[in-house]
Amino acid sequence: MSRRFPKGFLWGCATAAYQIEGAPAADGKGPSIWDRYAHTPGMMANGDTGDIACDHYHRFREDIALMQQLGMRAYRFSLSWARILPEGTGRINAAGLQFYSDLIDELLAHGIEPMVTLFHWDLPAALDDQGGWLNRGSADWFADYARVAFGAFDGRVKKWITINEPWVVSDGGYLRGTIAPGHRNRFEAPIASHNLMRAHGAAVKAYRETGRHEIGLAVNIEPKYATSATPEDMAAAHRASAYMNEQYLDPALLGRYPLPLREIFGPAWPDWPEADFDLIRQPLDFLGINYYTRAVVRHDAADDLLRAMPVRQPGALYTETNWEVFPQGLTDTLLWIRQRYGDIPLYITENGAAFPDPPAATHGQVHDPQRVDYLRTHLLALHEAIAKGVDVRGYMAWSFMDNLEWSLGYAKRFGLVHVNFETQARTPKDSARFYSQVIASHGECLGESPDTT
Ligand code: BGC
Please tell me the residue having the least CA distance from ligand 1 atom 10.
405
Q: Is residue 234 within a helix (H) or strand (E), and if so which, with residue range? A: helix 231-241
* 74-78 and 10-14 beta bridge pairing: parallel
* Beta-bridge partners for 350: 290
386 lines ligand 1 (CB under 6 A): no
Residue 160 Cβ < 6 Å to ligand 1: no
Taking the C-alpha atoms of residue 144 and residue 98, their distance in angstroms, rounded to an integer, is 18
Question: 0.75 cut: is pTM over it?
Answer: yes
Ligand 1 geometric centre to CA of 166 (Å): 12
- Give the pLDDT of the chain (453 residues) as one tens digit per residue: 789 999 999 999 999 999 999 999 999 999 999 999 999 999 999 999 999 999 999 999 999 999 999 999 999 999 999 999 999 999 999 999 999 999 999 999 999 999 999 999 999 999 999 999 999 999 999 999 999 999 999 999 999 999 999 999 999 999 999 999 999 999 999 999 999 999 999 999 999 999 999 999 999 999 999 999 999 999 999 999 999 999 999 999 999 999 999 999 999 999 999 999 999 999 999 999 999 999 999 999 999 999 999 999 999 999 999 999 999 999 999 999 999 999 999 999 999 999 999 887 767 899 999 999 999 999 999 999 999 999 999 999 999 999 999 999 999 999 999 999 999 999 999 999 999 999 999 999 998 866 544
Q: How far is CA 126 from CA 17, 25, 310, 398, in A?
A: 18, 14, 37, 30
What is the distance between the alpha carbons of residues 321 and 251, in angstroms, rounded to a whole number?
30
CA angle 164, 123, 25 (to 5 degrees): 120
What amino acid positions are annotated as catalytic residues? 165, 350
Q: How far is the CA of 308 from the centre of ligand 1 (A)?
A: 23
Q: Is 171 in the pocket of ligand 1 (CB under 6 A)?
A: no
The Cα–Cα gap between 49 and 248 comes to: 29
Tell me if 291 sits within 8 A of 330, measured CB to CB.
Answer: yes
pLDDT of residue 2: 83
Residue nearest to atom 9 of ligand 1 (CA): 16
Contacts 24+ apart (CB under 8 A), 306-313: 306/236, 306/239, 306/240, 306/243, 306/264, 307/236, 307/239, 308/224, 308/236, 308/237, 308/239, 308/240, 309/236, 311/227
Contacts (Cβ under 8 Å, ≥6 apart) of 98: none
Q: Look at ligand 1, atom 12, and give the residue with the nearest C-alpha.
A: 405
Q: In the prediction, which pLDDT does 452 show?
A: 44
CA of 323 to the centre of ligand 1 (A): 12
Which atom of ligand 1 approaches the CA of 321 most closely? 12
Confirm if 60 and 77 have CB atoms less than 8 A apart. no
Distance 184 CA to ligand 1 centre (A): 20
